């Protein structure tokens, strides 16, 4: 991995987890701690992170948590359209899982807007729980786990263990990257066990991702595309990617 690619992956990880230790980054990226410190020094000079003794944290994370806002606000129009399409697959009486993320947050907003009743929503996202919890006709259930400030979510083995023995109708799953070679990918290793547990608990898994994520890979791979049943994305998806999904028997649902 080239130095600029490694720094990009480090920044992606920090946007997901909020902070990291130098020794952990060295282990994850299989380089020396001296190399990681050089990477962090460059990222700090670019005003993207703040270094501290033995580690680093993403800039402005305290303000983001205080305002209860997500860092990733790209492609919001596409995400809103994806959320709109998702409403066609959510029925009163359903038990669903809403993964943490900006696209799934848009789904929660649509659920509030359309006043869907008799719905049970299981989530690891604090912002989604607060958004839906004010509706007395929606039962909101939260996982446990370790708090990740940038994504306002709970993660780790405790979050994953919550899903053991559960059987839910539908999962709306987020991702950072989708490719034939790497499958479903994420910036943070800690999330993988949670995503897998969500998939195992759901009868149907809808992957919700704007087209900018298709053909890209993040640091950690969850597994093959066969883990999911449907991909809901926007109309900018390329024809070559449509063919990949077709070849892997994954139904593509495209927004209008």
67 falls in which pLDDT band (50, 70, 90)?
Answer: low
pLDDT at 77 over 80: yes
Half-sphere exposure of residue 55, counting CA atoms within 13 Å on the CB side? Answer: 10
pLDDT tier at 211 (50, 70, 90 boundaries)?
Answer: very high
pLDDT exceeds cutoff 90 at 142: yes
Q: Which residue has the higher pLDDT, 63 or 225?
A: 225
The stretches of 89-237 forming alpha helices (DSSP H) are 102-113, 126-133, 157-161, 192-201
Mean pLDDT of the chain, nearest integer: 90
> In this structure, which CATH number among 2.130.10.10, 3.30.300.20, 3.60.15.10, 3.40.50.1360 belongs to the domain 76-254?
3.40.50.1360
| Ordered strands of the 95-98 beta sheet | 138-142, 119-123, 95-98, 168-173, 202-208, 230-233, 251-254
Q: What is the pLDDT of residue 52?
A: 87
Residue 68 confidence class, pLDDT cut points 50, 70, 90? low
Q: How far is CA 229 from the centre of its chain?
A: 17
How far apart CA 173 and CA 124 sit, in angstroms, is 11
Please indicate whether residue 53 or residue 143 has the higher confidence score (pLDDT).
143
Question: CA-CA distance, 83 to 217, in Å (whole number)?
Answer: 23
| 68 vs 94 pLDDT, higher one | 94
- 33-61 burial code (b ≥16 CB/10 A, e <16): eebbeebbeebeeeebbbeeeeebbbeeb
Confidence of residue 243 (pLDDT cuts 50, 70, 90): confident
Distance between CA atoms of 135 and 133, rounded to whole angstroms? Answer: 5
**Residues 217, 139: Cα–Cα separation, whole Å:** 35
pLDDT at 124 over 90: yes
Strands 183-186, 202-208: pairing kind: unpaired
| Pairing outcome for strands 183-186 and 230-233 | unpaired
- Domain positions in the chain are 3-59, 76-254
Tell me, what's the pLDDT at 217?
84
Fold category of 3-59 in CATH: Arc Repressor Mutant, subunit A (1.10.10)
Q: What is the pLDDT of residues 12-23, one digit of tens each?
A: 888 878 888 898
Helical segments of the chain, H only: 3-17, 22-29, 33-45, 61-66, 76-86, 102-113, 126-133, 157-161, 192-201, 239-247
Q: What is the mean pLDDT of residues 175-188?
A: 88
- The pTM (predicted TM-score) of the whole model is 0.87
Cβ-contact 186, 222 below 8 angstroms: yes
Q: What percent of the chain has pLDDT above 90?
A: 55
71: pLDDT strictly greater than 70: no
Phi then psi for 217, rounded to 5 degrees? -130, 135
pLDDT reported for residue 102: 92
| CA 82/CA 104 separation, integer angstroms | 9
């Amino acid at each position: 991995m080239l130095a600029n690619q490694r720094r990009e992956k480090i920044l992606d990880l920090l946007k997901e987890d909020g902070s990291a230790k130098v020794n952990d980054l060295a282990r994850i990226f299989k380089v020396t701690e001296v190399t990681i410190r050089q990477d962090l020094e460059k990222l700090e000079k670019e005003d993207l992170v703040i270094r501290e003794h033995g580690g680093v944290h993403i800039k402005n994370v305290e303000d983001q948590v205080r305002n209860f806002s997500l860092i990733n606000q790209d492609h919001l129009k596409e995400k809103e359209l994806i959320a709109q399409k998702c409403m066609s697959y959510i029925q009163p009486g359903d038990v669903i899982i809403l993964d943490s993320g900006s696209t799934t947050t848009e789904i929660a907003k649509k659920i509030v807007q359309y006043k869907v009743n008799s719905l049970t929503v299981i989530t690891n996202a604090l912002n989604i729980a607060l958004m839906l919890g004010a509706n007395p006709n929606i039962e909101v259930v939260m996982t446990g786990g370790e708090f990740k400030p940038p994504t306002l979510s709970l993660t780790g083995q405790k979050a994953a263990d919550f899903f053991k023995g559960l059987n839910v109708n539908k999962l709306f799953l987020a991702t950072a990257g989708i490719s034939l070679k790497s499958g479903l990918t994420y910036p943070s290793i800690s999330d993988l066990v949670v995503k897998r547990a969500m998939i195992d608990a759901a009868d149907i898994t809808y992957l919700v991702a704007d087209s900018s994520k298709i053909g890209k890979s993040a640091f950690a791979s969850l597994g093959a595309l066969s883990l999911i049943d449907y991909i809901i994305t926007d109309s900018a998806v390329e024809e070559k990617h449509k063919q990949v999904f077709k070849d892997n028997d994954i139904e593509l649902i495209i927004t209008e």
